[in-house]
Structure 1
Amino acid sequence: MKKAIRNILAILLGLVIGSVVNMGLIMTGADLIPPPEGADVTSMEGLRASMHLFEAKNFVFPFLAHALGTFVGALITALIAASFKMRFAFGIGAAFMLGGIINSFLLPAPSWFIVLDLVAAYIPMAWLGGKLAMEIPRKKINLTRKKP
């Protein structure tokens, strides 16, 4: 497979799998730590209107979703990429961070959460995912036949 195609596939898979992890944790979090009484979390408007009801515990899973989604996305990307593994891992972190910045304008979350989320959930997790991928030993398989 050509390097460019492999790198594009790595980025796409990193974004998709990271997003699936993110959404899975958001959905699981709502079951484990239910939203406050009277909060409508079924729409963006309802969430925006009821954000003032949320306590610190309600922000645990959104933070974990952002951090682990970015980590897994960066790890997958760096594992698959043919070259520039750390750059692509940071690219995944930047893409997820852009989503976090947009979200911080759309939802009136507390300032402490926005700062924590933007500082700790994206670029550090992308670095960690990229570094871990670089440390995993890769076994090269030789598919060429040796002549007797």
Structure 2
Amino acid sequence: MSFVRLLLAIIIGVALGGFVNMGVILNSGFFVAPPTGADLSTPEGIQAAHALLEPKHYMFPSLAHAVGTFIGSFAAVKITKEHQLAAALVVGSLFFVGGIQAARMVPAPTWFVAMDLVLAYFPCALLGYWLARSKAL
């Protein structure tokens, strides 16, 4: 029964984290306007606007990845009673794989990809674990 609970915790964590991730991405234009004439809603549009993007345009995607991973890991740890660290790390790993795939599909500067992959996934998964874990360990 604990394996089923762990699996459900991971699935719910990934779904919730993905929902938060997309919410941040979809609302990022309200805080940092895209370059004039740029369509950042598709990988093709991002590629066409790549030369117009400034570092400020990468702030919200990185924030989305970090917050989505954190919320997903936090939720997974809260749902499961056993193997809480494993739940957080699996959620973080799945988001990390998604980040690698996104980096392959959407053009971005090397500094952003490196920063995003190093800081947004496993550190945020561990932070989610640390803040949500059962204190009686």
- TM-score, normalising length from structure 2? 0.93
Q: CA deviation at 1:82?
A: 2.7
User: Structure 2 unaligned runs (5+)?
Assistant: none
Distance in 1 (CA, whole Å) between partners of 2:85 and 2:41 is 37
Distance in 2 (CA, whole Å) between partners of 1:7 and 1:67 is 22
Distance in 2 (CA, whole Å) between partners of 1:136 and 1:122 is 23
Distance in 2 (CA, whole Å) between partners of 1:23 and 1:82 is 28
Distance in 2 (CA, whole Å) between partners of 1:53 and 1:27 is 19
User: Structure 1 unaligned runs (5+)?
Assistant: 138-148
Distance in 1 (CA, whole Å) between partners of 2:47 and 2:99 is 15
Distance in 2 (CA, whole Å) between partners of 1:33 and 1:135 is 38
1:71 counterpart = 2:73: no
Residue pairs, 1:115-134, within 5 angstroms? 115-134=114-133
Distance in 1 (CA, whole Å) between partners of 2:15 and 2:115 is 24
Q: CA deviation at 1:42?
A: 2.9
Residue pairs, 1:67-146, within 5 angstroms? 67-134=66-133
Superposed CA offset, 1:62-102 (max 9, x none): 01100000000000001111311101101111100101111
Superposed CA offset, 1:7-64 (max 9, x none): 1110111000000110000011112111111211232211122122111111111011
The structure showing larger relative contact order (alpha-carbon pairs under 8 Å, at least 6 residues apart) is 2
Runs of 4+, deviation exceeding 6 Å: none
Distance in 2 (CA, whole Å) between partners of 1:65 and 1:116 is 13
Counterpart of 2:58, as a letter, is: F
Superposed CA offset, 1:91-142 (max 9, x none): 11110010111111111101111011000000000010011111568xxxxx
Secondary structure, aligned partner of 1:93? helix
Partner of 1:145: none
CA RMSD of aligned residues (A): 1.3
Partner of 1:29: 28
- State which structure, 1 or 2, has the greater radius of gyration over its C-alpha atoms: 1
Structure 1 residues 44 and 80: CA distance shift in structure 2, 3 A: same
Counterpart of 1:75, as a letter, is: F
Task: Please say which of residues 37-46 and 15-24 is displaced more in the overlay.
Answer: 37-46
